[in-house]
Structure 1
Amino acid sequence: MAEKNFFEPKQSLNIKGKIFDLSKPKVMGILNITPDSFYNNSRTNSIDEALRKTETFLNDGATFIDIGGYSSRPGAKDISTDEELGRLIPVVEAINKNIPEAIISIDTFRAKVAEETILAGAHIINDIASGDMDAKMFETVARLQVPYIMMHMQGTPQNMQQNPIYDNVLLDVIDYLVKKIDMLKKLKVHDVIIDPGFGFGKTIEHNYELLNQMQEFKIFKLPVLAGFSRKGMIYKVLKNTAAEALNGTTILNTIALQKGAKILRVHDVKEAVECVKLVEMLG
């Protein structure tokens, strides 16, 4: 029965036995435990600051908190697994202890980091590489039986923006996701969210072509996550900076919601929640 239902429309996630409804879009707040994330204001330097930001995100209406210990901006410095875990584990444990209602997503492409953070109290794995940068990721997620966000990326964070090329960006991304979903299906991973990977191994033109046709991802009948927040595809077009890209982010979030996005991954939770509420009024 599970095999038959894998491609049925997913309107919920099972997180440690509790069902989270996705029939209405949700917001995921970004918590970067890194010194080099592309948006300076998102960098979090202490456990106390992480707790304050988490409280603020939840009060502003976030459903998920996405914690990253490895910067994935173009050209980011590579760090060891131990360093990534050293950044993440104390924060996950502190949030789990002090704010137990928080639903924690871990932004990592490493299976060991995924496993140890889930054991420390996290709930979801958000993998920018869809298993391509760690062959053990899929089997780890299958064993842990946690929701898995899989993103399309061409290349790695270190080289992804060095002349990305596609025959047809939409069809190439869909073909990639079809193969990955089939692998996860065989491993009986039941809660999968797909992310087209805006800004990851794509030119500005590729990003807008994907957004313009984003409704096509409905063929998967899986929740779609959209992450545009303050990215270069906004501020390079507007000729401003990441710090000035909130308005542009809200515009793209609105378009994504109208094209079927179920999760918005953002730095600015309050504004994204307002965006969801207003788009929902359209019915």
Structure 2
Amino acid sequence: MILHCAQFKLPLTRPHVMGIVNVTPDSFSDGGQFTHTSSAVAHALSLVAQGADILDVGGESTRPNATPVSLQEELDRVIPVIEALADQIAVPISIDTYKPAVMAAAIQAGASLVNDVRALQEEGALDVVANSDVGICLMHMQGTPQTMQANPQYIDVVQEVKAFLAERAAMCIKAGIEKPRILLDPGFGFGKTRAHNITLIQKLAELQELGFPLLVGLSRKSVLGQVTGQDVDARLHASVAAAVISVMKGAKIVRVHDVKATVEALKVVAAIADQYHEE
């Protein structure tokens, strides 16, 4: 399985680590740490040095109850960072946005993957991606960041998430986006309770049946705090455990804050798995 992201072709025979670069003042975990272009770029370069296979740059927080930002504000946050990074790194840059205008500007600046929490449902978003050669990550979210955690309800969370992602992937293919460019994300923490999140992890194989690579983002999420009792800044160990379990359950890409720890943990998993197969 190979993921096509513009000039990048990522062989997903091994798990890939996506490092998070939040250029925001209010992200749930690291908001305010990297709001200036220089600090965001330095952080991104550090993540690449730690082993990140992809960088995910975002300029608008999608945490529960997040305040939306204007188009211009989001552009001002992310485009200088992407432009600076595109000349310095040899890994794909992802733009974390649902706004078509930000997608287009980011692609022009050097992004090769769009990571959209609204799965290209905004008017014009599908056309932007279809008229490019970048990859697209389609995520499931019940509601909006302002409402999603109010009282999420499902009859069957796995089947409902699966049906939504299948429908959005089919829409992409109909629009001319080739299958190897498509990545799916169940949307952990986006309109889901602790039980919903855990069920989705347990049954990740059912989402694999759709035939697309899966991205999992559990890093520092509230479900890990609910399980461990730890505040967001103390969820490193839980986040690494979640990344390892996700990969063992079939995830091809894990989106994380703590790149070095995750990369090292996944190297151990791979070494043990290879040794097991050799024997």
When normalised by structure 1's length, the TM-score is: 0.92
| Offset, 1:259 | 0.8
Change (3 A) 1:222 1:86: same
How do residues 134-213 of structure 1 correspond to structure 2 at under 5 angstroms? 134-190=122-178, 191-213=181-203
Using the TM superposition, give the Cα deviation of residue 165 of structure 1 relative to its aligned residue in structure 2, in angstroms. 0.4
Aligned-partner residue type, residue 50 of structure 1? A
Q: Which AA in structure 1 matches 2:105?
A: E
Q: 1:23: Cα distance to partner?
A: 1.2
Alignment map for 1:1-283 (pairs within 5 Å): 11-40=1-30, 43-97=33-87, 99-132=88-121, 134-190=122-178, 191-281=181-271, 282-283=273-274
SS of 2:223 mapped into structure 1: helix
Runs of 5+ in structure 1 lacking a partner? 1-10
- Amino-acid identity (%): 38
TM-superposed deviation, 1:41 = 6.5
Alpha-carbon distance, 1:121 to partner: 1.2
| Secondary structure of the corresponding residue to residue 209 of structure 2 | helix
Structure 1 equivalent of residue 277 of structure 2: none
Range moving further from structure 2, 37-46 or 222-231: 37-46
Q: The residue matched to 2:63 in structure 1 has which SS?
A: coil
Tell which deviates more after alignment, 223-232 or 184-193: 184-193
Query: Quick one: which amino acid aligns to residue 93 of structure 1?
Result: E
Q: Is the 8 Å Cα contact of residues 31 and 43 (structure 1) preserved in structure 2?
A: no
Secondary structure, aligned partner of 2:131: helix
C-alpha contact (below 8 Å) 1:25/1:262 kept by paired residues: yes
Structure 2 alignment gaps of length 5 or more: 275-279
Q: Deviation at 1:42?
A: 7.4
Moved over 4 A (4+): none
- Write the distance in 2 (CA, Å) between the matches of 1:80 and 1:124: 22
Structure 1: how far apart are the matches of 2:5 and 2:28?
Answer: 30
- Map Cα deviations across residues 195-251 of structure 1 (whole Å, 9 max, x no partner): 000000001110001111111111112110010000100012211101111111111
Range 29-38 or range 181-190, more displaced: 181-190
Indicate if the aligned counterparts of 2:141 and 2:191 stay in contact, CA closer than 8 A.
Answer: yes
Displacement of 1:160 in angstroms is 0.5
Q: Distance in 2 between matches of 1:73 and 1:59?
A: 27
- Asked if the contact 2:22/2:31 (under 8 Å) is kept, the reply is no
Indicate the residue corresponding to 1:3 in structure 2.
none
By how many angstroms is 1:261 displaced? 0.5
Letter in structure 1 aligned against 2:115: N
State the one-letter code of the partner of 2:128: T
SS at match of 1:40: coil
CA RMSD, 1 decimal: 1.3
- The count of aligned residue pairs is 271
Counterpart CA distance in 2 for 1:248 and 1:18 is: 31
How far is 1:46 from its partner? Answer: 1.6
